[in-house]
Amino acid sequence: MDLDKVERVYTNYAGMYDQTFGRVVGQSRESAVRGLPVQPGDRVLEVGIGTGEALPLYPRHCEILGIDFSEGMLEKARKRILTHQLDHVTLRRMDAARMELENDSFDLVMAAYVVTAVPDYRKVIREMIRVCKPGGRIIMLNHFSNGNKVIAAVEKMISPLCKHIGFRTDLSLSTVLEGTTLVVVRKKKVNPLRFWHLVECVNQKNGHAIPAVSVK
């Protein structure tokens, strides 16, 4: 997947996203956002904000920046901000792999259905870590490949097809986290079919030991 192709795919999706894929993932997204450990005054970054479906669910006592590379998606998000009068939210068009943001500037970074939908997930993860404060939280809501060998084989087989519509299916959580400073402190499956994983990590840039959970 190249960035321009991803942008075209999701801009084309924008007009019908909320009525199609948005409905499929809506329950999982709502569960994820309502459970975020957001404290009063926190700065929150949502990577891949899309049409801004989750924005009304965030508490108003935090400051939110939403970024996306698709102008079509951002246009829908802007309308949602006006409709719900979300004065604590700012939007910017930005490549998640090259964020124009300062180091250590966010308390919490949220990425829903992003990691498997970008050309280079490693760059995106590195950028999320860079802009997140030491000890801050990075939360990913995503499908990660299953440890079951049969399911994993099917996921790998259909991954080339899925790439044409903007995402991949063959990426494991352990691969995503390998070599990073992220420590998993919470992991659960959040939808009725148990297809989406909510993974909460602490950004261990300060080197302090943090109890971790298995990422298998």
What is the model's pTM?
A: 0.79
CATH architecture of 3-203: 3-Layer(aba) Sandwich (3.40)
Number of Cβ within a 10 Å radius of residue 149:
8
| E-only strand ranges, the chain | 43-47, 63-68, 89-93, 106-112, 132-142, 182-189, 197-203
- 84 token code pair: 């719900």
107 in Cβ contact with 44 (< 8 Å): yes
- Separation between Cα atoms, residue 158 and residue 162, nearest integer Å: 6
Q: Which residue has the tokens 């180091």?
A: 103
- Separation between Cα atoms, residue 120 and residue 156, nearest integer Å: 17
Output the tens digit of pLDDT for each of the chain's 216 residues. Answer: 556 655 665 565 555 555 445 444 556 777 788 888 899 999 999 999 988 888 999 999 999 999 998 888 899 999 999 999 999 999 999 999 999 999 999 999 999 888 888 888 999 999 999 999 999 999 998 878 766 554 444 445 434 444 444 455 668 889 899 999 999 999 988 765 556 788 999 999 876 555 555 555
- 155 token code pair: 């996921």
Maximum Cα interatomic distance, the chain, rounded to a whole number of Å: 48
Domain boundaries, the chain: 3-203
- 23 token code pair: 């409905």
**Which residues, 6+ apart, have CB-to-CB distance to 143 below 8 Å?**
113, 116, 169, 195, 196, 197
- Separation between Cα atoms, residue 92 and residue 66, nearest integer Å: 6
- List alpha helices for 63-184, DSSP H: 71-84, 121-131, 149-163, 173-177
For residue 34, which phi and psi values (nearest 5 degrees)? -65, -25
132 in Cβ contact with 46 (< 8 Å): no
Distance separating the N- and C-terminal Cα atoms of the chain: 26
